[in-house]
Structure 1
Amino acid sequence: MNTEPESELPGPAPIRRLQESLINRIAAGEIIHRPASALKELLENSLDAGATTIRVTVKDGGLKLLQIQDNGSGIRRSDLPILAERFTTSKLTTFSDLTKLTTYGFRGEALASISHVAYLSVVTKTRTSTCAYKALYSDGKLVPAQPGQSEEPKPCAGNDGTTITIENLFFNTPTRLSALRNTSEEYARILDVLTKYAIHNPKVSFMCKKAGSSSPDLSTPSASTTRHAIKMLYGPSIEKDLLQIAVNEDMKGEVSWSSEVYFTNVNYQAKKTILLLFINSRLVESTRIKRAIENVYTGILPKGVSPFVYLSLKIDPRSVDVNVHPTKKEVHFLNEEEITMQICDTLQAKIAEKSHSRVFEYQTLLTGGIESSSQRNDKKRKEAPAETQTINDEEREEVSPSLSGPKKVYSHHKVRTSLQDRTLDSMFPVVNPSQISKGPAESSPQPQSLPRSREMKESECFLTSVTTLRNRIVKGKHKLLTEILEKHTFVGIVDVDRCLSLIQYSTKLYLVNHGALAEELFYQLGLRHFGDFSRLKLEPSPSLRELVKIAVDAEEISEETTLSKPDIVDRIVKILHSRRSMLSEYFSLNISEDGLVQSLPLILRDYTPNLDKLPLFLMRLGPQVNWTSETECFESFLRELAYFYVPGPITSDPSIPTAMSKETDEDIAGSKAERWQIQHILFPAMRRHLAAPKSLLDVDVVQVASLPDLYKVFERC
Structure 2
Amino acid sequence: MTATPGPSSSEPKAIRRLSENLINKIAAGEIIHRPASALKELLENCLDAGSTSIKVSVKDGGMKVLQIQDNGCGIRKTDLPILAERFTTSKLSTFSDLSRITTYGFRGEALASMSHVAHLTVITKTKSDACAWKASYADGILVDAKTGQKSEPRPCAGNDGTTITIEDLFYNTPTRLSALRSTSEEYSRILDVITKYAIHNPKVSFVCKKAGSPSPELSTPSSSDTATAIRLLYGHTIAKELLHFKISSKEKQRAEDAMDEDEPDDPEGWTAEAHFTNANYQAKKFIFLLFINHRLVESPRMKRSFEAAYQSILPKGSSPFMYLRYPSVTPGLPFPILTHTSQSSDRSTTLLTGGIMGENPLPKKRSRKERDVSDGEEGGDKEEGTSESAEEKRKTYSHHKVRTSLQDRTLDSMFPVPNPSQAPAISDPAEPTPTNAPPKSREIGESECFLTSVKNLRKSILKGKHRQLTEILEKHTFVGIVDLEKCLSLIQYSTKLYMVNHDALAEELFYQLGLRQFGDFSRIKLEPAPSIRTLLQIAVDAEESTKNSNLTKQQIVERIETILVDRREMLAEYFSMTITETGLLESIPLLLRDYIPNLDNLPGFLMRLGPRVDWTSESDCFETFLRELAYFYTPMASASEDQHKAERWQIQHILFPAVRRYLVAQKSLLDRDIVQVANLPDLYKVFERC
TM-score (structure 2 length as normaliser):
0.49
